[in-house]
Structures are given as structure tokens and as C-alpha cells.
Structure 1
Amino acid sequence: MTLLRLEQLQLAYGTHVLLNRADLTVERGERLALVGRNGTGKSTLLKLVAGDIQADDGSIWRAPGLKIGVLAQELPESSGMTIFDMVAQGLPEAGELLSEYQHLINDPDPDMNRMATLQTRLEAIDGWSFHQRIDVVLTRLGLPPEAEMSALSGGWRRRVALARALVSEPDLLLLDEPTNHLDLDTIAWLEEQLLAFNGAVLLITHDRAFLSKLATNILELDRGKLGRYPGNYAEYQARKQHELEVEARENAEFDKKLAQEEAWIRQGIKARRTRNEGRVRALEAMRNERSQRRERQGTANLTVDSGERTGKRVVELKGVTQRFGDEVILRNVNLEVMRGDRIGFLGRNGAGKTTLLKILLGELVPTEGSVQLGTNLKVAYFDQLRAGLELEKTVYDNVAQGSDRVSVGGKDRHVMSYLQDFLFTPDRVRQPVKALSGGESNRLLLAKLFTQPANVLVLDEPTNDLDMETLELLEELL
């Protein structure tokens, strides 16, 4: 059964074309993984499907009565709401109708006609089970309904956002980086849920294992074109590599012929003869075709200056306990980090991983125990919530910090040149950070961190939102 059909979609922001005559059909039971470089428009495509924004041209057909559940890339706002309140946003109509119905019940002189209308509508949308449906999802995800959103870690807030997307029992799930901030157990649970889901799934993910296990087809957004590849991610990679090789050969042949024609036209007199007018027109067409060509985005160039060597012992924790109110987050933690160690912290959402990092960084003084730092430490901290980025400032100003030059690896470089290593084009460099995609924001945060020498890297969820190519480069760097 067809749930969704996109036909000849066009979308551009200024001169930047995100979608160029894109077509897509989504059938019930399909799990489609959308891949592409950061900033190509993947999240924008999901917003088009959800109806949050409109295309410049083309059409979107949705099956009558189609219910869409959305998990956005951004974490939900945390202020002034309980978990139950946040998940209830996934059933907005039922919540509003029940609220109005309850108000009429408490009215000493209710409008009986309106009450009858509300009853009919609530029955039609299964609104009477509003609280039960929310409770079922909260139980499945292990979420306490009365907990305050403001007290939750990034991983727990992500779980809440998942619950909000699932509570409406949608026909089509739109998931933008669903594994971000989730612990391994929750990722495994999510895999099982999606494999058993009888609707359709359209997801964006950087998690290669998650993608390989779930995807029935790969969709790729590349330079405005939306391509579809049957099979898993490995099969897509092989086909895509072949396509790029063919494209490179064809472009080289085209450019060689264009150069020959440009040399011919410079001869002047021959080109002006009547019998050569067709050749001149053909050259103009070739020039136009070449000007329209969009080159594939290159790969980032990630380097970090390690600076002075640390002492042999980087940091030592003895008997560290951390409490927040009556809740014990860390209990009697002993840890020694030596120069050359590469340590990964694993644990359930809310177990205290980020808290432990902040204690190691000296940003948080533990309730009990001691923290002894080594000598010559130069720490670069990648914060999963990107607090180090100023959203209203431009990409350029976030890195430049009032100067036109940065020192990287002992070399003095212009900020524009340095940002090109992180795949920021001149026009993107002048954009405010709030206009960037999640992956672009993480690339910018890495660029900002690496402008300072660092012999200790502390990375809290550094892979979130990064495209596959940049993720692999970060792995090599580490």
C-alpha cells in the first residue's frame, strides 16, 4: 500500500538548491534510510514530508488519514514540563478535545450540543484512551511520567522525544538521527521495535550498524538529486562507488572536448563562417552545461595539535561520589588515566557519564573524594549539547574570535582557509550557526576545538549527526 508520493519536488534557499526534481514513493513495510553529506538537505526533506515546510514546486501526496510520527534531530526543550506532558504532545487533538470536554463537564450549564460533538470526535480518534496510550509507551521506554524534563540527561530527553513520536501509533515514522544520545540497550530496543513496526520508516542515521540492520532500501541525497538503492548499506556503497567512477570519466571526457572547442573558437575567422554556426551554438550549450555542474563535496581535513606532552599520569580519581539532592549519581569511583590511554565510557542514559566527564574536567567538584590532575594538561572538550557555539554569531566569528587568523599545528592560517578544511564554503561561512544542520554544527565545534593545542581530548557523543565520511576521518584522527 502506498503511503506517500513525492513528485518533481524543487526546493532552494537563495542560490543553494537542496532538491532538484526529486521523486519518491513510500510503501507500507519499507524502512528507508536517507544518507548524504552534512548540509545537503536530509532533515529538510523530512520536514517537507511532515508538512512543516512547503516546497517551491512539485507535489506531495499523502494517503488519506495518514498518521505521521516525527522524531526531530534537536532535543526537546526541557523547561517547565513533565515527561507525561511532553509525550502528550504526540496526541495534540485528543488532548485538546479531552481538555475541552472536561471543562464542559465542570460547567454548571454546559453546551450539550458541543458535548455531543466532542464525544463523537473523541470516539472517532480513539481519544478516550488518551492516558492509557501514553502510559503504555512510557512503560515500554521506562519513563517516569511525573519526572521534570529539566532534570533529564540528553539520553533521557531523547527517549522522551521517541515516546512522543510513537504514541500516536503512526503509519509513517520520520526519524532524524534516532540513536543520538541513546545508550546501547535502548538502541537495541529501538531496533527491535522498528523491525516489528508494520508501517513505514524513513530515517536519517550516522550509525552504520543500526542502518545496516534496519534499512530495506538506501536513499541518497547528493547535489539536489534523490537516488534510490535497493539492498543494504554495503551494496549501496559498492554501487555508488561505481557511479562516481563513471561520472568522473564522463566529466573528464566532457572537459577535454570543451577545452578543444574553446581552442578552436579562439581561432576566430573559422568560427564566424556560416557553416560553423552550429558548432558555435554547440559550444555555448557545452559552456552552459559545464556551469551547471555541481561538484561533489570533498572530504574534511581534520588535524589537532597535541601541544606539550602531559605528565605520565593525566588524572586520578579516588573515592569519588556525586550526589544531586538525595540521588546518588556516582558512588566511590576510582579511576586512573595515563598518557596514551583511549578510554570509552559506556552506561545507561542518566547513569552519570557526562557528570563523570565534568568532574574529570574540573567543571564539577564531587560531593566526596578527590581529583588529582596531572601536569601540562591542555584539554579540548566536545560538549554533546554544543554549549561552546554561539548560535547568533556566524560560522566565521565563532572560530575567528575577533581575528582573521588562527594557529593550527604551529602554522598561521587564515580563518577562511581553515574552515574550508571542515567543508564550509565561503557563503556558508557567513551564515549564523543557528542556520546550520546538526552535522555542520558538530563539524564547526570540532573546528573551534582544534584551533587550540590539546593533549587531552574529552569527547561527549562526538559522532552525533556527522556524515559517514567525516565520521570515518574522526575515527582515523583519534
Structure 2
Amino acid sequence: MVLVRLKGVSLAFGNQVLLNKVDLDINAGERVCVLGRNGEGKSTLLKILNKQIKPDEGLVQHGDTLKVAALQQELPVTDPQTVYEVVASGLGELGETISAYHEEILKGEDVDLVKLERLQHVIEAHDGWLWQQKVDAILDRLDLPGDAAFDSMSGGWQRRVMLAQALVSEPDLLILDEPTNHMDIATIRWLEEQLVQYKGTLLFISHDRAFVQALSTRIIELDRGSIYSWKGTYQGFLDHQEQRLAAEETQNALFDKRLAEEEVWIRQGVKARRTRNEGRVERLKEMRNQRSQRRERQGSVSLAMNTAESSGKNVFELEHVSFGFDIAGKQGEEAQRKEIVRDFTSVVMRGDRIGLVGPNGAGKSTVMKLLLEQIKPEAGTIKVGTKLDVAYFDQSRSLLDLEKSVAENVGDGKDEVEVAGRSRHILGYLQDFLFEPARARTPVKSLSGGERNRVLLAKLFLKPCNLLIMDEPTNDLDVETLELLEEKLVEYDATLLLVSHDRAFLDNVVTQLWVFDGQGNIDEQVGGYSDWEIRDKATKAEFDAAVKAGSKKAKAPSQSKSQKSASAPVEKKSSAKKLSYKLQRELDELPKQIEQLEAKQAELGSETGSADFYQKDSDYVATKLDELQSLEQQLEALEERWLELEEMAG
């Protein structure tokens, strides 16, 4: 069933055509990802589909009862409301009434009974108690504190609140614009699980390739005003895109060859102007017009790095490093200690490629500053190696002067820059980063987030370096630029320290990880993110199995020790314990039941962990995930009962 349809839709801003007579259907149950380069108009397309923007021409058709909710790319700058109020506002006026009722109830003895009764009447008249339960349920499901102040939360938690606001009305179509921005990896994985279980239709923009691969059942690409659709996996889309562009290039080459031949013919003069050739002349005019209307695909970013003389063998030596700070408590409460690094010892050697991963606020950027000697450790030492030339990519973009132009920021006021040993004009160099001369003279403050990151990369790669430190370099970059950056970093033969929440980027670039747990502990792991994730799951599974298998064995040493030290009466009392026949039978059967459930759990876990699982029908995926959750709950209950009976048996 078609939920939204575009027919012959066109939209332009000045001379820039974003949509050129496009047709598009969004069908019920799909999870559609919109891809395209920065500036192609992806966010604008979502706003047209949501009827926030009217096209210049064409039709936007919605189903009569279609309910749409959207999560915008930009978060509210300030919002003094509580989390409960923000989430309930997703229900419109009824949500405001429910919020007012909730706020009044919290007053306790100071409640205004007249106001409460009036609110109650409005809620009952609109079946509001059911919706109040749904607000409570979504807060519980997303683990959100209803009474917390929204503007006191981190960006990742604010996105979680805004997602709850979008979901609470149970929309038929959920629209998400860059939902993983500012989220750490754990939160991104959590979001994937939530969206896989979502029963409605999903339309989203994302440059996180692992996220797209896990969620999308269909991909639509926006390219030079046209829309291309691909039903299948992200990898399948990439293969299809390569074939499409190759076919387009061949077709254009043939057209240009024919046009050149016709231009030679027209220059022959009198013969071409004979009446019997007028049709050919008209066709030539049409071909010229067609060629002038063609929109060439913009070139790719070209990245070249200036490398410096090799550094010393040891880049950093950290010995028992600790760092933290006190967080002021609320009025009347003591300050709380936040440990960022606790007794960390490591050596970073020349050529190491290390990824720093962990929750937001765990201290990854702080550790970067410790290594750069911008701050000092509270305990321990950090020995910095010799001959270091450092280039630092700062996620806050503090190295950019927003009032100056792109060229002034990158060239530091110079017209010529040195790239890979040769001199180049700054405007020519910036074209490698997709900044045409007019755009290169634009103030940085007028650029998009992705464009600002390209400015930073252009500035960064001019600096000769043998140590590259990058804090969230992938934010706002389109997939194509991201992949080109990957290639360049893989070729980079010096030392790299990288903070990123992009799992595919980490897999492709780094060879080891520092994993932050948020409590000050840093765990060193070999390999990329996927390597660590597999080991982490295996370690947890082994630990759980050891706990189950060892619970009975663990009692034996304890009993043996007590028998050696305890008196005979205690020993006699211990041996006197005996379960009833019924309970003993139950205890004997439990290991078999647990083993059967574990086998089912392993089978389901293998299926849900496969790469193509999330490409299947959404109802099937949700059912299997529910089954897996139910099995885990059953296992937990049986294990608790097993331990209980063993304790009774002594």
C-alpha cells in the first residue's frame, strides 16, 4: 500500500535544481534510506514528503488517515521543559493537557483540585488515559527519566527524548534526519534495535554505513535532481550505483561523439542549409540544447597529505596515568568525583593506528588533550617521543575562523600552498575538496556542517605531520567523502589516533582499540570494532557459562573448608538437609531444561546476528527478537530456581 506519492515534483533554490520532475512512492512497511552527497537536497526531500515545504510544481499525495512523525537533524537549542513534557508534546494539544495533569499530580498536598478535575474531564473526553499510559510506556521502554530537565541532557540523550516524542503518537510513517548524530556506538546499537521493532514505515537519512546496512530494506539515491531506487542491501546498492554511473558515462560519451560529428557536418556550409537537410539542422539544435541541459556529476574529493620526517620509535609512553575532576552537586549535596582515566599504562609506537571508543562523556577527547599536553595528569607520567609533528582535527572546529572565507582559513591569507612537495594556488587546491572559486571566497559561517569538515580536512592535510590525531572526523561527511578519507588514512604510514562512533570507519582504518568503560578504565584490544565486538560477546558468553557451570562446584570448596574448621554437630546438621521427592525431581530436571533453552537461544542468536537478518520482513524480525527476549527471561528464571534449590539441598 502506498503511503506517500510524489508525481512530477520539481524544486529549485535560485539556479540550484534539487528535484527535477521526480516520481516516488513510499510503501507501507518499508525502511527506506535516502542517500546522496552533501547539498543534494536530502533533508529538503524529507520536508517535502512531510508537507513542510511545497514544491515548485508537481503533486505530493498522502493517504487520508496517514499519521506522520519526524525527528529533525537539529535539536532544540534550549527547552526548559521536563522530559515528560517534551515526550507528551508529541500528542499535540492532548499531550499538553496530559503534561499539565502530570505536573499537578506531582504537587502532592499543594494540588489544585479544581484544575485537576478540569484536566481530568478533558482527558476522559479524548480517551486520554490510554495515551497517558503510552507516554509512560515509551519513557519506560527508552529508559528516560520523566522529571529530568531536557536542556540539562547530553546530545545523545536529547535525541533519545526526541525519538520518544516521535514514537509516542504511533505514527504510520516515521521520518528521521541523521538520527545517529552525537550518539555513541552503544546508543546507535540501541537505536537500531528500537527501529527494527518499529511496526510502521521508516524513512531516514544516514551516512553511518553499518546503520544503513542493518536497517534499510530499500535505498533511494538523490543525484543531480533525479531519484534512483534500489531494493536490497546497502552493498547491493553500491554495486548497482557503480554500474549505473558507468552506463551513464558510456551513454554520454556516445552522445558527445555524435554531437561532434554533427558539428563537423554543419560547418560544411551550403550543403547543410539545403531544404532537404532542415530536419537534420533542427535535430542538431535539439542535441545542442540537450547537451547544455546535462548536469555533470560533481568530481570527487581529492585528498593529498603532507608527511613529515619519521618520529622516534616510541610516540607516547604512559605510566600509571590518572585524571579526573569533581562535579558540583545540587544544593546541599557533596560534589561527585568523575574518573576519566584510572591507572592507565601503555606505549604508543610509531605506525600504530589506534581507535578510541566508548560512551559519550567517557573521556576520549580528554585523553587526546592529555597526550597533546593541553592538560596534565593528576598522577602518573606521559613521556612524549622525539621529532613529533602533530596535526590535530578538532570536532569542535575551533581551528576555524567563522568570519573569514574558506580560502583565508585554509591558506592563512596566502595565495599559494605547498601540497606533496609542489606549489599550488589556494583556489585550485580547494577545488580538490569540492569548493569552486566562488564558494572558496564564502565566509565559513555560511557553510553546512559537512562543508566545514571539508575545510578542516583541507587545512589539516597541508600541515606536514607524522602524528595525526582526529576527534570525530566523520561527522556530517557524505558517504563518498568518508570512503575517500578512509582510503587516504589507510595509505598514511605514520601514527594515527582516532575518536569515532562510525563502526565501519573504525573497522577499515584502525588496527587496535582503546575501549573506555566510562568509569576510568581503558582496555586495549587488537583489531577493529567488529573484532572487539565479537570477542566481547564471546567473553560475556563464557563468563555466563562459567557462572552457571561453576555455581555447584563453587560450593564444594566452601563446604570442604567449613568441614575442616567446623565442629561435628555443624557437620551433622549440614548432612541432615534433604529435599522432598518432588523438589529433588525438579532439581534433577532443571539442567536439562536449561540446556534445551540455551540451544534454542544459540540458534536464534545465530539467526538474529546474521548480516541479512534485518533485511527480512519487519514483522518476522520483531517476532524473532521477541522470542529471543522471552528465552532470555525464561533462562534467567530457571537459573535462579536452580540456585535456590541447590541452596536448599545444601
Range of TM-score over shorter length: 0.7 to 0.9
1:442 to 444, 449, 453: 453
Equivalent-residue separation in structure 2 for 1:388 and 1:181 (angstroms): 20
| Counterpart in the other structure of 2:642 | none
Deviations 1:69-114 (A, max 9, x none): 333334553686765565556455445445677999988998x9x9
Q: CA offsets per residue over residues 198-257 of structure 1, 9 Å max, x none?
A: 111111222222222221111011111011112112222232222222222211111111
Offset from partner CA, 1:251-308 (integer Å, 9 cap, x none): 1111111111111222222223222222222111111100111111222111211223
In structure 2, C-alpha distance between the alignment counterparts of 1:156 and 1:391, rounded to whole Å: 28
Label 1:324 to 1:61 Cα distance change in 2 as closer, same or farther (>3 A).
farther
Instruction: Identify which of 337, 340, 344 aligns with 2:351.
Output: 340
1:21-420 equivalence runs, <5 A: 21-74=21-74, 76-77=76-77, 87=87, 90-91=90-91, 93-98=93-98, 118-119=122-123, 123=126, 126=128, 129=131, 133=134, 136-145=137-146, 154-317=155-318, 318-325=320-327, 326-330=336-340, 331-391=342-402, 393-420=404-431
TM-score, normalised to structure 1, is 0.87
What SS class does the counterpart of residue 242 from structure 1 fall into?
helix
Is the 2:304–2:461 Cα contact (8 Å) retained in structure 1? yes
Does structure 1 conserve the Cα–Cα contact (< 8 Å) formed by 2:88 and 2:99?
no
Give the CA deviation at 1:415: 1.9
Work out the CA distance in 1 between the residues paired with 2:326 and 2:151.
Answer: 14
Deviations 1:2-23 (A, max 9, x none): 3222222212121111111122
How far off is 1:28 after superposition? 2.1
Does the CA contact (< 8 Å) of 1:33 and 1:205 recur in 2? yes
Task: Compare CA radii of gyration and give the structure with the larger one.
Answer: 2
Q: 1:85 and 1:309, CA in 2 relative to 1: closer, same or farther beyond 3 A? A: farther
User: Any conservation in 2 of the 1:419–1:429 contact (CA below 8 Å)?
Assistant: yes
Name which of structure 1's ranges 348-357 and 255-264 shifts more when overlaid on structure 2. Answer: 348-357
Query: 1:333 deviation in Å?
Result: 2.5
Any idea what SS the aligned residue of 2:454 has? helix
**Do 2:51 and 2:60's aligned partners in 1 also have CA atoms closer than 8 Å?**
no
Deviation at 1:147, TM superposition (A): 5.5
8 Å CA contact 1:156, 1:350 repeated in 2 = no
- Aligned residue number for residue 10 of structure 2: 10
Residue range with higher mean Cα deviation, 424-433 or 275-284: 424-433
CA contact (8 A) 1:36 1:42 kept: yes
Instruction: List aligned pairs for 1:456-475, cutoff 5 A.
Output: 456-475=467-486
**How far apart are the structure 2 equivalents of 1:136 and 1:104?**
20
What SS does structure 2 have at the residue aligned with 1:267?
A: coil
1:379–1:139 distance in 2 versus 1, CA, 3 Å: farther
Q: Which residue of 1 aligns with 2:433?
A: 422
| CA contact 1:155–1:350 (8 Å) conserved in 2 | no
Q: 1:393 to 1:198 in 2, by over 3 A?
A: farther
Distance verdict in 2 for CA 1:202–1:459, change over 3 Å = same
From 424, 434, 454, the counterpart of 2:465: 454
Distance across 2 between alignment mates of 1:275 and 1:370 = 90
CA contact (8 A) 2:94 2:123 kept: no
Q: Is the 8 A contact 2:325 2:337 kept in 1?
A: yes
Q: Do the aligned residues in 1 keep the contact of 2:84 with 2:99 (CA within 8 Å)?
A: no
Change in 2 beyond 3 A, CA 1:200/1:285: same
CA pair 109-35 structure 1, distance change in 2 beyond 3 A: closer
Specify the code of the residue in structure 1 equivalent to 2:407: Y
Q: Partner amino acid for 1:322?
A: G
Compute the TM-score of the two structures, normalised by the length of structure 2: 0.65
CA change 1:134–1:347 in 2 (3 A) is farther
Q: What is the SS of the residue equivalent to 1:23?
A: strand
Distance change (3 Å), C-alpha of 1:119 and 1:183: closer
After the TM superposition, which of the residue ranges 394-403 and 417-426 deviates more from structure 2?
394-403
Of stretches 402-411 and 98-107 in structure 1, the one that deviates more from structure 2 is 98-107
Q: Partners in 2 of 1:301 and 1:65 — Cα distance?
A: 48
Aligned-partner residue type, residue 169 of structure 1:
E
Cα RMSD of the aligned pairs, angstroms, is 3.3
User: SS of 1:344's equivalent?
Assistant: strand
Contact 1:73/1:438 (CA < 8 Å) preserved in 2?
A: no
Instruction: Tell me how far apart the structure 2 counterparts of residues 168 and 407 of structure 1 sit (CA, whole Å).
Output: 56
CA contact (8 A) 2:98 2:123 kept: no
* Structure 2 CA distance for partners of 1:157 and 1:116, relative to 1, 3 Å: closer
Q: 2: CA distance between counterparts of 1:422 and 1:229? A: 28
Distance 2:196 2:131 in 1: 26
SS in 2 for 1:345: strand
Provide Cα deviations, 1:395-420, integer angstroms capped at 9, x if missing partner: 33432333333333333222211111
Q: Distance in 2 between the 1:398 and 1:250 partners?
A: 40
Deviation at 1:139, TM superposition (A): 4.1
* CA distance in 2 between partners of 1:342 and 1:42 (Å): 34
- The amino acid of 1:7's aligned partner reads K
Distance 1:162 1:77 in 2: 16
Q: Separation in 1 of the partners of 2:160 and 2:456?
A: 25
Q: RCO higher in 1 or 2 (8 Å CA, sep ≥ 6)?
A: 1
Change (3 A) 1:203 1:287: same
Is the 2:88–2:135 Cα contact (8 Å) retained in structure 1?
A: yes
